Amino acid sequence: MIADTLVCLLLVLGVAFGLSRPFIDRFRLAPAETVVAGAALSLIAAWAIAWAVFVTGFPLWGYWLLPALAAAGLAFGWRGAARLGADPAARDLMAGQLIVTAWCVAWLSFVRSHSGGAWMGDWLEHWQRALFFLRDWPRDTPFIDIFEMPARPPLANVLTAAFMEVTRADYAHFQVIMAALCSLAYLPVGLLAGRFGGGRSGRVAAVILMVNPLFLQNATYPWTKLPAVFFILGGLYFFLRVRDGDALSGRAAVVCALLLGGAVVTHYSAGPYVGVLALAWIAMGWGRRRDPGFLRMTAAAAAAGALVLAPWFAWSVAQYGWHATFLSNSSVTTLGRWQGSHVVKIALNLRDTVLPPQVRGFRGSLFRQSSRWGALRDQCFLLYQINLPLALGSVGCVAVAREALRAARAAEPRDRRFWTLALAGFVVLSVAVYGDREHYGIVHICLQSV
């Protein structure tokens, strides 16, 4: 199994860093930015290739195109890869990614079974979705007997299926592949850390993620939230590069849109972030709304995002219709469960996301344990998985609050206003899009990127 694990890791990371290698240098980004943008565009390109194999009915050996093209990309783009290896910031990011991935897979080796009470449906659904893209499931079969195919976007599931076809289509390989994909969330975190902290802050970011319980829980729990976080935070970074207003803005805008499109096609929890950043884009460019340069940049970014979204939505509408494509997601299907005011529901869900259920005295039936040690584990899981402050860690939330106050005092009024409104928008809109009451809290649904 050790050899199989290494093959899985080499496959995922090789595709992520190799597939875009021949053309990513044409964006002329900084080396560290090239690492992150290259990995993101590689995964989007890999999804496009695997998606074409699936929807056209091409034999599944077509999934082997991914490692073949990635190997060719590394071979033809070796000079660019050597330049990245010579840059300290890019080298730190790549080394940090290797360490974080190894750390996540090492923790995965301790998992004997996924328990988690009623949470088991989430990992089971994504396992079934991976099998679907191996053509093992009829197109009209509901997943976990609940969700239609269009209820979840496919990017991470398609990639997982393709990598399983190249290695082995069993649950052990599924877990390792998903853990490797989830671990890539480190890359934009390290890049953002370098933007704000400079120097070797990417190394510090790697350590912080490695000891963060929310990150480890979701890296070893096989679902698609952290791959979406990878695209969301990468898109946020390049949005900030557009906001800098320098010569890189045009290229950064296209990369931002491509990554946010990839986020939406990975998990619909990206929706609130795309909405807030779209509003910020409009506000940021309102004074330039008649500037041809800004309009061209906006049109190019919109076209790039649409290019990523179109294959999934066009196919889904053709196969399942408009209703299933846009109204089968759980955020929509749960709307009818709450009969009261939606404003009250949002306020209560926001409260329950900030205050842990143990503090409020809420005892639900999600976890039922006969073991004292199992109960302790489950209560810790709840604290870190669904509570916004504690998602940063029991010590991390205090450190983040302290650093946020220091940064706010030192920031320019323009930056302070932007981050206050953006973070408030991310949190409130992420809570608002959930259709039902959730007494446990809903960090796990949309707020992992925060």
Per-residue tens of pLDDT for the chain, all 450 residues: 678 888 899 999 999 999 999 889 888 899 999 999 999 999 999 999 999 999 999 999 999 999 999 999 999 888 888 888 899 999 999 999 999 999 999 999 888 776 655 677 788 899 999 999 998 888 888 888 888 999 999 999 999 999 999 999 999 999 999 999 999 999 999 999 999 887 788 898 999 999 999 999 899 988 899 999 999 999 999 999 998 887 678 899 999 999 999 999 999 999 999 999 999 999 988 888 788 888 999 999 999 999 999 999 999 999 999 998 998 888 887 777 777 888 998 999 999 999 888 888 777 777 777 778 878 888 888 888 888 889 988 888 888 888 888 888 888 888 889 999 999 999 999 999 888 888 888 898 889 998
pTM exceeds 0.85 for this model: yes
Q: What is the largest distance, in Å, between two alpha-carbon atoms of the chain?
A: 66
Amino acid identity, position 114: H
User: CA 101, CA 184: separation in Å to the nearest integer?
Assistant: 7
The set of residues, in sequence order, having a beta carbon less than 8 Å from that of 364 and lying 6+ positions away, is 357, 439, 440
What pLDDT shows up at residue 321?
93
Other C-beta atoms closer than 10 Å to the C-beta of 106 total: 12
> Is 331 within 8 Å of 151 (Cβ atoms)?
no
User: CA 158, CA 162: separation in Å to the nearest integer?
Assistant: 6
User: CA 10, CA 62: separation in Å to the nearest integer?
Assistant: 19
In DSSP terms, 143 is beta-bridged to: 147
Amino acid identity, position 30: A
What pLDDT shows up at residue 302?
95
359 exposure class (CB count in 10 Å sphere: 0-12, 13-18, 19+): exposed
Other C-beta atoms closer than 10 Å to the C-beta of 204 total: 14
Q: How far is CA 406 from CA 396, 399, 400, 417, 444, in A?
A: 15, 11, 10, 15, 28
Spell out the long-range contacts of 195-198 with Cβ–Cβ below 8 A and sequence spacing 24 or more: 195/237, 195/240, 196/407
What pLDDT shows up at residue 274?
96
Positive or negative, the CA dihedral 260, 265, 267, 268 is positive
In DSSP terms, 147 is beta-bridged to: 143
